[in-house]
């Protein structure tokens, strides 16, 4: 009997490669997400630091306008960082879904390979059993024809 060969081995290799690409994309997306979350936290901390400073007094209008301008810029930076985090979360979710799908495709082909390998093993065992039965039958008939008891 010929050696076992999975007929869809090339497809399985391609699916494994696709799964690896999807896994790497997910890792990159998660890295970008963590980095954007860190930048968002830094922007939020900078905003809270400036916003928590006490008012300097009624006579310092220029300082008040400068502080207010800085607060507005920092608030805008927090909003932009939050938008980036939301986009990175969306992208990471997409990458996760793609990775899960690729993994399911690989798993289904691997199950098919296992099933086919099991069927091949059963057929091989059946063939071996048939050959052994034929040998034993031939041996028995030879011994029975010579008058000696079969062993």
Digitized pLDDT (tens) for each residue of the chain, 151 residues in all: 688 888 899 999 999 999 999 999 999 999 999 999 999 999 999 998 887 777 666 667 777 788 788 889 999 999 999 999 999 999 999 999 999 999 999 999 999 999 999 999 999 999 889 888 888 888 888 887 765 555 5
Enter the pTM of the model: 0.71
Contact 70, 46 (CB under 8 A): no
Domains, the chain, ordered by start = 9-114 (1.10.287.1700)
Query: How far from 64 is each of 52, 57, 58, CA to CA, in Å?
Result: 13, 8, 9
- Give residue for tokens 């690989």: 106
């Amino acid at each position: 009997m010929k050696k076992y060969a999975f007929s869809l081995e090339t497809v399985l290799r391609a699916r494994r490669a696709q799964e690896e690409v999807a896994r790497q994309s997910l890792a990159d997306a998660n890295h970008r997400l963590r980095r954007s979350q860190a930048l968002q936290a830094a922007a939020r901390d900078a905003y809270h630091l400036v916003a928590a400073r006490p008012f300097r007094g009624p006579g310092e209008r220029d300082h008040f306008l400068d502080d207010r301008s800085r607060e507005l810029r920092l608030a805008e930076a927090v909003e932009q960082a939050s938008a980036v985090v939301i986009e990175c979360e969306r992208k990471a979710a997409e990458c996760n879904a793609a990775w899960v799908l690729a993994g399911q495709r690989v798993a289904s082909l691997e199950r098919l390979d296992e099933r086919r390998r099991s069927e091949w093993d059963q057929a091989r065992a059946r063939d071996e059993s048939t050959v052994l039965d034929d040998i034993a039958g031939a041996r028995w008939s030879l011994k029975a024809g010579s008058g000696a008891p079969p062993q």
